[in-house]
Amino acid sequence: MIESYSEIEKRMFEKYKELTGCDCHDASDISIRIKLLAGELFNLQSSVEWIKNQIFPQTATKEQLDYHAEMRGLSRKKPTKASGVLRFSLPEAGSGRMVIPAHTTCSTAGKNPVYFVTDTEAVIDAGSLSTTVTATAVESGSAGNADTNYITVITKSINSLLRVTNPSEFIGGSDIESDDSLRKRILDDIKTPSTGTNKAYYKRLAESVDGVFSASVAPRVRGNGTINIYIAGQGTTLNSSLVTQVQELINSQRELNVDVLVESATTARVGVSFYLAAKSGYDYEKVKQDVLNNILAYYSTLQVGEGLFASKLGSAIAKTNGVDSFLYTLDSSCNYTPNASQLIIPGNINIYRGESST
């Protein structure tokens, strides 16, 4: 445990009095020297503690954690952009063609819009009501993952009657890999080293691709000599282009005579219901929102094939500041074990007001 500056200073003044029998005047030369030396000792102690933390991957952070990853042939994954399909439509069919230029910018509605641009030119032909075109988020990150019908604004109007929406989800956006995620991959690699032929080898290959948060490896699903790999982003499925990228990487480095198939994981929605009581003096609605945020954060850590457990979910609830107690409802089934191809995502999360014990 690190001593604070004041603790070091106090200890030095007490030792000085013990050895000399005199108190130090605050403005004396000795007092100033003790204070300066105490500051340097505190800085030295802090530096030593920082070095101790960076020596081991369990406690290393940031650039030093990257060095631990490099020693095992791993690297921090870069952020990726979400992609999907936009549908442009008119209320009535026109007599002429309407051209929607490439790089047309659209966005979500609200205070903090997320922007997307079309990848290619799109055309609504004469007599037609709509057309679809692929689009990509302007900024990298998970914020670009958008639910169906979430993108509704054309930032620069081509025609006042033209409307836009996304008929399906925008997926594939991911933030730069966090320390916790990278640390887990490093520790997994230490615990189960890749041999070039085992499940760890294929899992490591798949998870090395930017945008892939987790991968599950299932051997012999299609018979002897076959391996299925199911991949997912953080709390989301992945688009076909990323699946193809992982497939090509695996094909170039797989074992001879092994048939490897890469697929996007399917999702399993699992919800939870419970009664929540806040401590006296806390705003219940704020505590409730903080609890919901912690629950969603726990879901986001789940990997393909990883189960949801009431104990871990309960830990996410209980650690929230202001929580007095909580109790799962009788119909809440929050223990769920998926198959190797499934990624658990949040279902209905129902939080009811409970009675405080205080």
Most distant pair of Cα atoms in the chain: their distance: 103
Q: Indicate the pairing of strand 151-154 with strand 226-232.
A: unpaired
pLDDT in tens, 152-202: 999 987 888 999 999 999 998 999 999 999 999 999 999 988 877 889 999
By C-alpha distance, which of 125, 208, 116 is closest to 171?
A: 116
Give the C-alpha separation, 146 to 236, whole Å. Answer: 11
Task: Determine the 3-state secondary structure of 48 from DSSP.
Answer: helix
* Both structure tokens of 232: 């997912």
The domain over range 179-264 is classified in CATH as 1.20.81: no
Are 41 and 11 spatial neighbours (Cβ–Cβ below 8 Å)? no
Model pTM?
A: 0.76
Asked whether the beta carbons of 87 and 167 are under 8 A apart, the reply is yes
What is the pLDDT at residue 341?
96
Six token digits for residue 235: 């709390």
For 247-270, how does the pLDDT look when each residue is reduced to its tens digit (9 = 90+)?
999 999 998 889 999 999 999 999
CA distances from 31 to 19, 22, 43, 120 (A): 15, 12, 19, 73
Q: What is the pLDDT of residues 193-218, one digit of tens each?
A: 887 788 999 999 999 999 999 999 99
Domain ranges of the chain: 5-55, 83-165, 179-264, 267-353
The separation between the first and the last C-alpha atoms of the chain, rounded to the nearest angstrom, is 34
